[in-house]
Every structure is written in structure tokens, then in C-alpha cells.
């Protein structure tokens, strides 16, 4: 059985969150016309709360690099880049370069100023090319026109590790989850990819004995779920962060999100650049205007140029729907969530 057949049989989907079929993506780049092809291992890991790239490079760096080499050989591609989070670079680059040896793989240090948006795949390609770090218009997609206009395969660290395991018939259908927040045993854990969120917490001895909610898929853009909503597959949740309702300060969480998004906006498009500026004003005001929050996050969802702007709808709306409206927590009067009639709430 060749590698593509093995990837299809394993039903491997990209571990970066989009869950695109890995076999299809590899074949698209292979079939794309181009004198040169490239491979990018996206190790930017810019979403707060997710630590699995670091974990893999600490523990399974050989497997990841073997996976990248398989891609170089399969396409075939001229060169690969490991697009590495700058916080990891000093510690990890010497180790990775030693493993790479003379193979055509460059460890590329992502700039600190690139921030979260520097991890978006087309922004990463611009960064490697030395251009302004901002998302590109798509189509064309990197599979057709990536680095220097050449077909480029972009996958994340865990995906390359899994490709290697599949090639060696060692893949067990597992996935990495970062567990953190208000828990004792925070860390990176590996479980079958179809495990439920609740079972990840129980099997890591992190299921709280206090009232809580979780944010899955990153501490910024992830979905907020209450404790009754955890009997669902954790697939796609690279992280599970626990929030104690007793320690919880709603306005501080809203401020954390809006500060993150306003800081990370690349400024290329008006809805995101101005939208988060306005949202910050609303959230920092002495009385929270939920109607304004609703309008701004809906506008961000509908008109932002890239996923950073549109993704803000997810934490804000899921928090309102699944926590504020769900819990009996008494909120400070200046937040006054009771009686809200806003579009992102179920009617
Ligand atoms: S949505 Fe935000 S991050 Fe994305 S292109 Fe527009 S300004 Fe930049």
C-alpha cells in the first residue's frame, strides 16, 4: 500500500483545526503545475492555551522531521521550512538543525511582531518570502500558488508526526489535547481522536468538583461550553481550558478577549481594525452595552477579510449563550445580562 492509500485508510485530517483530508491536500500539491514545490511545517502555535507543537518537538522531533522528509520526497519538493514560534526558537532550533543535518529543511524563526495572524498560513508564506505579514486573498490557495507562486504544502507539526506514524504502520488514531486553566494536572495528553471532552477531563483527573465552564480550541478563538455540553467529541479541540465559576469575573474575560483581538489584528481590513477598537471601547465602558457587542461581533463575523476577525464571534456568542444565559451566577449589575435580546442569542 502506498503512502496516499495509507493516509486515506487512516482517514487522517489536518491537526491544525480545519480538519481537511491530508491525503487530498498532498495529492493536490503533487498534481499542481509548478517547476518548484515547497513544504511548510507550521509551528507558529500562536493561539493562547495550546502547547502541543512544543510538546511534539520536545518529545517526538525525529518523527516530525521524518514526516516532513516524506512530504519532500512525495511531491517532490525543493525545500521545506519549519515556521517556528519565536518563544521556542532558542531552545529548539539547535536540536532541530542537528536532526535535519544536510536535508533541505530550514528552521525559520517567526518574528515576535508577526503575532497570532503570522500563524495564518498565507501570512506565514508572506513572512517567509520577506513580505508584509498579512493574509492573502484566496483563491488561489497555497496548494496551487504558495511560496513564490509555487505549489506549497502547509501542514502543522502534529500532522507531519501522524503522517510518519501512518507510513510506519504505527498510527493508533490518537490526537493531542492541551488541558489547562483551573485544574491540577495541566499538560498535553494523547487520546483517541473520538474521545468526548468530558472523558478527557475525567481520564486526566481534571474533572472539577466545582461549578465550571470550558473553552475548547484555544483561549482566544475557542468555543465556550458549559458543563452539560461536554458529552461531545473533543476532535478539533486542540485545547480544553477549565474556568471555575467561583473565581470567574465575566468582564475580565471579555476584556482578555478583546485585548487579544485588538492587539493581534493586522489592520489590513476596516471591519477588523475598527471593529475591535470599537468593541474595546464598549467592553471597557462603565456599563456594558450588549446590543453594541452583538452588532460588532456580528459585523466582524460577516465582513472580516480573514478568520481572525470572523472568529471573534465564536468566544463571545458561545460565552453569552452557554454561560451567561445558562448559569445562575449573579453578575455585577453593570454587566446586567438578564433580559438581553440580542441576535447572537437563541430566540
Ligand atoms: S480580519 Fe483582521 S487580521 Fe484578518 S486581514 Fe482583516 S485586519 Fe487583518
Task: Give, for all 347 residues of the chain, the pLDDT tens digit.
Answer: 799 999 999 999 988 777 889 999 999 999 999 999 999 999 999 889 999 999 999 999 999 999 999 999 999 999 999 999 999 999 999 999 999 999 999 999 999 998 888 999 999 999 999 999 999 998 999 999 999 999 999 999 999 999 999 999 999 999 999 999 999 999 999 999 999 999 999 999 999 999 999 999 999 999 999 999 999 988 878 899 999 998 888 889 999 999 999 999 999 999 999 999 999 999 999 888 888 999 999 999 999 999 899 999 999 999 988 988 776 555 555 555 544 544 454 43
Q: How far apart are CA 252 and CA 319, in angstroms?
A: 13
Whether the model clears a pTM of 0.75, i.e. scores above it, the answer is yes
Fold of 250-324: de novo design (two linked rop proteins) (1.20.1440)
Query: Do residues 107 and 97 lie in contact, with contact meaning Cβ atoms separated by under 8 Å?
Result: yes
Q: How far is the CA of 243 from the CAs of 104, 217, 224, 248, in angstroms? A: 44, 14, 10, 7
Ligand 1 atom closest to the Cα of residue 267 is 7
Give 268's contacts (C-beta < 8 A, 6+ positions apart). Answer: 134, 135, 305, 306
- Specify the pLDDT at position 7: 97
Instruction: Answer whether 266 contacts ligand 1 (Cβ < 6 A).
Output: yes
- Specify the pLDDT at position 152: 98
Instruction: Report the residue among 260, 306, 310 best suited for mutation to probe ligand 1: largest number of ligand atoms under 8 A from its CB.
Output: 306
CA 34–ligand 1 middle distance (angstroms):
29
Instruction: Answer whether 304 contacts ligand 1 (Cβ < 6 A).
Output: yes
Ligand 1 atom closest to the Cα of residue 276 is 2
Instruction: Answer whether 46 contacts ligand 1 (Cβ < 6 A).
Output: no
Instruction: Answer whether 191 contacts ligand 1 (Cβ < 6 A).
Output: no
Q: How far is the CA of 15 from the CAs of 21, 334, 340, in angstroms? A: 10, 41, 37
Query: Do residues 125 and 146 lie in contact, with contact meaning Cβ atoms separated by under 8 Å?
Result: yes
Instruction: Answer whether 267 contacts ligand 1 (Cβ < 6 A).
Output: yes
Residue 320 burial (C-beta neighbours within 10 Å; 0-12, 13-18, 19+): buried
- Specify the pLDDT at position 324: 82
- Specify the pLDDT at position 345: 44
User: Per-residue DSSP letters for 22-43?
Assistant: HHHHHHHHHHS--S--EEEEEE
Residue 340 burial (C-beta neighbours within 10 Å; 0-12, 13-18, 19+): middle
- Specify the pLDDT at position 341: 47
Instruction: Answer whether 309 contacts ligand 1 (Cβ < 6 A).
Output: yes
Q: Are strands 152-156 and 38-43 parallel, antiparallel or unpaired?
A: parallel
**Residue 124: count of CB within 10 angstroms of its CB:** 28
CA 17–ligand 1 middle distance (angstroms):
19
Query: Do residues 321 and 344 lie in contact, with contact meaning Cβ atoms separated by under 8 Å?
Result: yes
Q: Where are the domains of the chain?
A: 3-167, 174-244, 250-324
Instruction: Report the residue among 114, 138, 305, 314 best suited for mutation to probe ligand 1: largest number of ligand atoms under 8 A from its CB.
Output: 305
- Specify the pLDDT at position 328: 56
Instruction: Answer whether 119 contacts ligand 1 (Cβ < 6 A).
Output: no
CA 296–ligand 1 middle distance (angstroms):
15
Instruction: Report the residue among 115, 268, 278 best suited for mutation to probe ligand 1: largest number of ligand atoms under 8 A from its CB.
Output: 268
Fold of 3-167: Rossmann fold (3.40.50)
Instruction: Answer whether 300 contacts ligand 1 (Cβ < 6 A).
Output: no
Give nearest CA residue, ligand 1 atom 1.
309
CATH of domain 174-244: 3.10.20.600
Amino acid at each position: 500500500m502506498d503512502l496516499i492509500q495509507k493516509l486515506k485508510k487512516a482517514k487522517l485530517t489536518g491537526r491544525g483545526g480545519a480538519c481537511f483530508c491530508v491525503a487530498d491536500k498532498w495529492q493536490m500539491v503533487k498534481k499542481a503545475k509548478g517547476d518548484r514545490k515547497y513544504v511548510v511545517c507550521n509551528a507558529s502555535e500562536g493561539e493562547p492555551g495550546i502547547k502541543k507543537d512544543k510538546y511534539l518537538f520536545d518529545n517526538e522531533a525525529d518523527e516530525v522531521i521524518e514526516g516532513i522528509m516524506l512530504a519532500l520526497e512525495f511531491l517532490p519538493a525543493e525545500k521545506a521550512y519549519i515556521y517556528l514560534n519565536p518563544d521556542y526558537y532558542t531552545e529548539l532550533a539547535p536540536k532541530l538543525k542537528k536532526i535535519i543535518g544536510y536535508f533541505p529543511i530550514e528552521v525559520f524563526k517567526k518574528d515576535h511582531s508577526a503575532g497570532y495572524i503570522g500563524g495564518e498560513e498565507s501570512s506565514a508564506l508572506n513572512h517567509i518570502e520577506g513580505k508584509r505579514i498579512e493574509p492573502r486573498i484566496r483563491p488561489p490557495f497555497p496548494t496551487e500558488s504558495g511560496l513564490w507562486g509555487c505549489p506549497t504544502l502547509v501542514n502543522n507539526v502534529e500532522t507531519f508526526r501522524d503522517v510518519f506514524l501512518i507510513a510506519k504502520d504505527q498510527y493508533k488514531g490518537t490526537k493531542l489535547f492541551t488541558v489547562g486553566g483551573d485544574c491540577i494536572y495541566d499538560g498535553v495528553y494523547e487520546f483517541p481522536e473520538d474521545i468526548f471532552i468530558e472523558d478527557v477531563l475525567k481520564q486526566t483527573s481534571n474533572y472539577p468538583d466545582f461549578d465550571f465552564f470550558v473553552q475548547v480550541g484555544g483561549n482566544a478563538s475557542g468555543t465556550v461550553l458549559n458543563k452539560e455540553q461536554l458529552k461531545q467529541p473533543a476532535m478539533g479541540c486542540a485545547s480544553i481550558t477549565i474556568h471555575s465559576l467561583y473565581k470567574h469575573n465575566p468582564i475580565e474575560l471579555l476584556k482578555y478577549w478583546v485585548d487579544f483581538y485588538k492587539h493581534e489584528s493586522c489592520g489590513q481590513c476596516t471591519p477588523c481594525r475598527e471593529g475591535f477598537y470599537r468593541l474595546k471601547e464598549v467592553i471597557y465602558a462603565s456599563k456594558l452595552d450588549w446590543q453594541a457587542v452583538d452588532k460588532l461581533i456580528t459585523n466582524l463575523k460577516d465582513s472580516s477579510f480573514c478568520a481572525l476577525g470572523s472568529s471573534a464571534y465564536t468566544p463571545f456568542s458561545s460565552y453569552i449563550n452557554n454561560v451567561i444565559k445558562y448559569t445562575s451566577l449573579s453578575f455585577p449589575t453593570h454587566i446586567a445580562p438578564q433580559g438581553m435580546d440580542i441576535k447572537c442569542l437563541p430566540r
